[in-house]
Each structure stands twice: as C-alpha cells, then as structure tokens.
Amino acid sequence: MKEMLYHSKIGMLDLAKVIRLYPAAVVDAHGEIAEMSLEWTEINGDKVKIISYVLVFDFTPSGERVREKKELHFETKEELFEAMQEVAQFF
C-alpha cells in the first residue's frame, strides 16, 4: 500500500484517513465570516471580501457529530491550487 503522508505547513496529514477533501474561500460578508465554495465566490466575489483560501482535510466519519478536520490557509488562489496539485499526486 502506498504511503499517503502529506507533509504540510501545519504538520503531517495522513491522506489515507481523509473522508472529504475540498477547497473553499474564507469570506467576510458584512461582518460574518464563513467558508464558501470557490464557485460561489466566483459568482458573488464582488459582494464579499475574500480573506483567504483554504484546503480542508475532513477526517470525520459519516454520522459523527464532532468534526475532525484540518485546514491549510493560503493568501492566493494560486497557492491553493499548487497545494491541491501536490495532494492530488497521492491519489
């Protein structure tokens, strides 16, 4: 079995245990901070302030109430896409 340990800026992540992996943008919508899909921010980016971009590694099994996830934050969408390409090499 291929080793799936990704060495990130927040530590080592075992990608074999990831249940969901997704990119998002952290936005400030009139004082409310939220993670929104990249597609949503493309459509509504002029109505909100994009604070950062994030790659979310969700380790939470289906049905669990307590979320176990790690997030890598990036200043630019380009940095996010670079990290996504690095992670994609494991799959």
Q: What are phi and psi of 3, to 5 degrees?
A: -70, 135
* 46-87 pLDDT per residue, tens: 889 999 999 999 999 888 888 899 999 999 999 999 999 999
Beta bridge partner(s), residue 55: 23, 72
Neighbouring C-beta atoms of residue 27, cutoff 10 Å: 20
> Whole-model pTM?
0.86
